[in-house]
Amino acid sequence: MDRMPALSVAAVPGRRKWTIELAQDIERRGFTGIYTPSVAGDSLAFCQALAMATNEISFGTSIAPIYFRQTEDYAATASFIHEMSGGRFRFGIGVSHAPALAARGISGGKPLSDIRSFVSDYEAAPRTGEKAPIVLATLRKKMILLSEEISSGMVFANGARSHMSASLSVLSDETRSGDFFIGNMIPTCVNEDIEAAKAVNRRTLTSYAMLPNYRNYWKEAGYVEEMTAIEQTIADAQPERVPQLLTDQWLADTTLFGSATQVRDGLEAWFDAGIKTPILVPSSANGNQIVAFEELLAIF
């Protein structure tokens, strides 16, 4: 393939050394980046290890929730990784979600103003050296516009491909054609059994469908009927029915699944939709994280 994606890699406890070896293999194979989520351990610690264990590949957080640490602490760690990696690190930040914050006893504020304040304080943090470039987690247009104003890039998670043109239309032509980072985390399952692959991605996205901010985004993307039905199911205290309401059309618009050819063709469609850095998030119908990466690496 002429256009290679980035990959999402989580340093799962008990497999951290394997994860570093995986990252080195990903670099050797010519993938364009490694981005680590906040859901499995300390993403910045993993990025610090990547700065030392890799040589050329870009990497970053996708995303680090701004409420989890003091801003100056984030700035010190991010600038260290930036320096040690020779400028290969992108500091992806976002406001996270209410359940994740509640689990830590944290209350979120107003996303746009809190992100703006965080970036301002981050840039002003003293004694940190050169700052790592910031990438904002985005879904809807106000945050996309803010990303252009105050950061070096933006990253979706579970964006809708059919809606990407409308989402990116608020950016200037200069931003879209320049070095501004435009990424999207895409749940991916490689399997010749298409129904099995769909089932895996439905499980992956069910928890996101439970979140109001995602439902509002997918409504904006045209999936009003599906999201309204999910909201009614939640109101009826029947969350087990949510996966049944995630239609094939919606799934094909937000994830990649199926044979090697289908996944590669779908990836090309994401590039064509304006996503400069598709970030594949692998899952498997046949096993754990290790199996998922074996299946994904094999098709490239």
Identify the DSSP state of 161: G
Closest to 190 (Cα-Cα) out of 112, 118, 292: 292
Angle subtended at Cα 15 by Cα 61 and Cα 20, rounded to the nearest 5 degrees: 55
Q: Which two tokens stand for residue 52?
A: 């030392």
pLDDT of residue 97: 81
DSSP 3-state of 182:
strand
Question: Higher-confidence residue: 105 or 98?
Answer: 105
- Residue 98, pLDDT above cutoff 90: no
How many whole angstroms from its chain centre is CA 263? 18
- Residue 26, pLDDT above cutoff 80: yes
* pLDDT tens by residue, 134-171: 999 999 999 999 999 999 999 999 999 999 999 999 99
Whole-number percent of the chain with pLDDT over 70? 99
Q: What is the mean pLDDT of residues 8-32?
A: 96
- Residue 114, pLDDT above cutoff 80: yes
* pLDDT tens by residue, 33-62: 999 998 767 899 999 999 999 999 999 999
Q: What is the pTM of this model?
A: 0.96
* pLDDT tens by residue, 224-260: 999 999 999 999 999 999 999 999 999 999 999 999 9
Residue at token pair 């080195």: 24
Q: Outline where DSSP puts E strands in the chain.
A: 6-8, 33-36, 58-61, 64-65, 89-94, 134-137, 153-157, 181-190, 256-258, 277-282
Q: Which two tokens stand for residue 114?
A: 């809190």
Q: Could you tell me the domains of the chain? A: 6-190+257-298 (3.20.20.30)
Type of residue numbered 157:
A
Verify cis geometry, omega within 30 degrees of 0, for the bond prior to 63.
yes
Phi and psi (nearest 5°) for 117?
A: -65, -40
* pLDDT tens by residue, 196-229: 999 999 999 999 999 999 999 999 999 999 999 9
d(CA 208, CA 157): 10
138: left (phi over 0), alpha (psi -120 to 50) or beta: beta
pLDDT of residue 135: 98
pLDDT of residue 1: 61
Return the minimum-mean-pLDDT range out of 83-87, 93-97, 122-126.
93-97
Type of residue numbered 50:
L
Q: What is the mean pLDDT of residues 92-100?
A: 88
